[in-house]
Amino acid sequence: MPTVVVVGLQWGDEGKGKITDFLSSQANLVVRYQGGNNAGHTVVVGEEEFKLHLVPSGVLYPGTVCVIGNGVVINPGVLLKELNELNKRGIDTSKIRISDRAHVIMPYHPALDELAESSRVVRKIGTTGRGIGPAYIDKYERYDAIRMVDLLDKEEFDQRLPEIIRIKNKVLNQIYGHRGFELKVIRDEYLEYAEALRPMVTDTSVFVNQAINRNEKVLFEGAQGTLLDIDQGTYPFVSSSSPAAGGACTGAGVGPVKINQVVGVIKAYSTRVGAGPFPTELPEELVSKLRDGRGREYGVTTGRPRRCGWFDGVIAEYSVRINGVNNLVVMKLDVLDQMETIKICTGYRYRNSIIKEFPASLKVLAESSPVYEEMPGWLEDTTQAKSWESLPVKARDYLNRISELAGAPIAMVSVGWRRDETIMLRDIW
Ligand code: GDP
Ligand code: IMO
Ligand code: MG
């Protein structure tokens, strides 16, 4: 099936980068459809590790064309630096295309992100500080946003920027006591970025749809995860974009009937970076078995230690439903190799009832406690397994239970960060 959305089913960092890279060996096009450089996607090739923030994780295959879609918010300085670093490592980035409708992150966006976060007292979100929220706020406010097409139009940019800077500086000065930004400095810096990016900017919806019509293999790469989705996530502890599979349509300019399948990437346990509800979270003194060792659960973008906990079947069912997942990819099974017993959450106990559907109310979540099922660990190294049959029986039982709770079949199991530490159960393409 030639068009696939790869979507995270938890709070991000599920291993989408590894799976996108893996599936990209056969893809013609890989399209990022939302988020920005809040994302951090790791791809390991041999002894080399690549950490990608804005560039789609298909970039490491020379034959794969990468697209940054209209739903992404682009920090041009960060993008150029990332492209430059990839070039220095011998990766060809000449085939990358950027949507003319994508919104631009300006210097006041990260500043406003940090200032807003630090002024919050009770409900800090724990953002990455990359200006993602403020950039999407401007997009939806429809007044002081700049799209790639505006940045490339020097006349338009020069006409609009003074008014935008005036307004932003007023907010920065009067609300936060920040000295503000100088018009000329931003103008000169961004016009330089515009020239560097100009050859890559195009109407990417035309580009992507033409590839689909030629029956090419197109992969839509989600950043973040379903529980960080602005509509479907643990609001307000979410990001400001639409990582859920539906976001691929709006964020890439593709009709829903053009999407053939949805691959849901899920860890064999759970993690979360930043604040917000996390029903199966383990207390700090118990997380090290998951976070350290092979788990390496530290944020790619901010370096923050990730909060860790058991697999949550309520969330798995929720995310499979929200995204219409028809193939699951279970990641990081090897991290559980040393566990004597493994817990799986099958529901939430709330007052006198058991909740099976993920609730909207954070109050209900806070008052709920997970109902766990215990399964015996397999206490064997799974990293060398190359097939379903070569996995320990107890590991297969665990995976079958995950699939049952999630309500979707497993297509792949990942047992290590390397490309060859991947078990295929069903064909994706
Ligand atoms: P993404 O944001 O979803 O792309 O995920 P990240 O790259 O932020 O985090 C996933 C981390 O897990 C990275 O360090 C990967 O190299 C690593 N990883 C991916 N798959 C596996 C796996 O099966 N086992 C182990 N131990 N690590 C993995
Ligand atoms: P990838 O693509 C994990 C989290 C932040 C914070 C919240 C809002 O690597 O899976 P933002 O800066 O987006 O306004 O922060 O979302 N967050 C992520 N957590 N993985 C990510 O991306 C994330 N991108 C944002 O930690 O809690
Ligand atoms: Mg990540």
Residue type, 195: E
Cα distance between residue 270 and residue 266, in whole Å: 8
Q: DSSP letter at 294?
A: G
312: left (phi over 0), alpha (psi -120 to 50) or beta: beta
- Topology of 3-92+203-424 in CATH? Adenylosuccinate Synthetase; Chain A, domain 3 (3.90.170)
Is the pLDDT at 179 greater than 80, yes or no? yes
Ligand 1 atom index nearest CA of 265: 3
Does any ligand 1 atom lie closer than 6 A to the CB of residue 415? yes
Q: Show me where the domains of the chain are located.
A: 3-92+203-424, 103-200
Cα distance between residue 81 and residue 263, in whole Å: 30
**Cα–chain center distance at 292:** 22
Best residue among 219, 296, 334 to mutate for probing ligand 1's pocket (most ligand atoms within 8 Å of CB) is 296
Per the omega criterion (within 30 degrees of 0), is the bond before 236 cis?
Answer: yes
The per-residue DSSP string of 103-146 comes to EEPPTHHHHHHHHHHHH-SS------SSSHHHHHHHHHHTSS--
Cα distance between residue 391 and residue 381, in whole Å: 9
Is the pLDDT at 394 greater than 90, yes or no? yes
| Nearest alpha-carbon partner for 30 in 240, 227, 223, 300 | 223
Q: How confident is the model at residue 301 (pLDDT cuts 50, 70, 90)?
A: confident
Between the CA of 11 and the centroid of ligand 3 the distance, in Å, is: 9
Cα distance between residue 251 and residue 56, in whole Å: 14
Between the CA of 14 and the centroid of ligand 1 the distance, in Å, is: 6
Does any ligand 1 atom lie closer than 6 A to the CB of residue 103? no
| Structure-block tokens of residue 327 | 């193939």
State the number of CA atoms in the 13 A half-sphere of 62 facing the CB: 4
Ligand 1 atom index nearest CA of 51: 7
Q: How confident is the model at residue 302 (pLDDT cuts 50, 70, 90)?
A: confident
Q: Indicate the SS3 state at residue 274.
A: coil
Is the pLDDT at 138 greater than 70, yes or no? yes
Alpha-carbon dihedral of residues 227, 228, 229, 231, nearest 10 degrees? 70
Residue type, 332: K
Q: Indicate the SS3 state at residue 318.
A: helix
Q: What are the tens digits of pLDDT across the range 328-369?
A: 999 999 999 999 999 999 999 999 999 999 999 999 999 999
Identify the residues whose C-beta falls under 6 Å from ligand 2. 8, 11-13, 38-41, 125-128, 130, 132-133, 223-225, 228, 239-240, 273-274, 300
Instruction: List the beta bridge partners of residue 349.
Output: 354, 369
Question: Largest Cα–Cα distance of the chain, in whole Å?
Answer: 66
Q: So what's the pLDDT on residue 1? A: 66
Answer for the pair 50, 66: CB distance below 8 angstroms, yes or no. no
Mean pLDDT, the chain, whole residue set:
97
Q: Which helix (H) or strand (E) holds 244?
A: none
Does any ligand 1 atom lie closer than 6 A to the CB of residue 416? yes
Q: What are the tens digits of pLDDT across the range 205-262?
A: 999 999 999 999 999 999 999 999 999 999 999 999 999 999 999 999 999 999 999 9
Query: Cβ of 154: how many Cβ atoms within 10 Å?
Result: 13
Q: Where are the alpha helices (DSSP H) in 120-256?
A: 132-141, 148-152, 154-176, 183-197, 204-213, 247-252
**Cα–chain center distance at 253:** 19
Ligand closest to Cα of 11 equals 2
Query: Residues near 280 by Cβ (< 8 Å), separated by ≥ 6?
Result: 270, 309, 310, 311, 312, 343, 345, 370
Radius of gyration (Cα) for the chain, nearest Å?
22
| Nearest alpha-carbon partner for 269 in 283, 259, 282, 254 | 282
Q: So what's the pLDDT on residue 286? A: 85
Task: At 215, give phi and psi (nearest 5°).
Answer: 65, 30
Query: Cβ of 350: how many Cβ atoms within 10 Å?
Result: 15
Residue carrying structure tokens 């215990």: 374
Q: What is the mean pLDDT of residues 263-270?
A: 98
Q: How confident is the model at residue 284 (pLDDT cuts 50, 70, 90)?
A: confident
Q: Indicate the SS3 state at residue 97.
A: strand
> What is the percent of the chain with per-residue pLDDT over 90, rounded to a whole number?
96
Answer for the pair 246, 258: CB distance below 8 angstroms, yes or no. no
Between the CA of 234 and the centroid of ligand 2 the distance, in Å, is: 12
Residue type, 266: I
Q: So what's the pLDDT on residue 232? A: 98
Q: Which residues of 76-101 are buried (b: 16+ CB within 10 A; e: fewer)?
A: bbbbeebbeebeeeeeebeebbbbbb
Residue carrying structure tokens 């193939």: 327
Between the CA of 70 and the centroid of ligand 1 the distance, in Å, is: 26
Looking at the domain that runs over 103-200, which CATH code has it been given?
1.10.300.10
Q: Which residues are catalytic?
A: 13, 41
Answer for the pair 93, 86: CB distance below 8 angstroms, yes or no. yes
Q: So what's the pLDDT on residue 114? A: 97
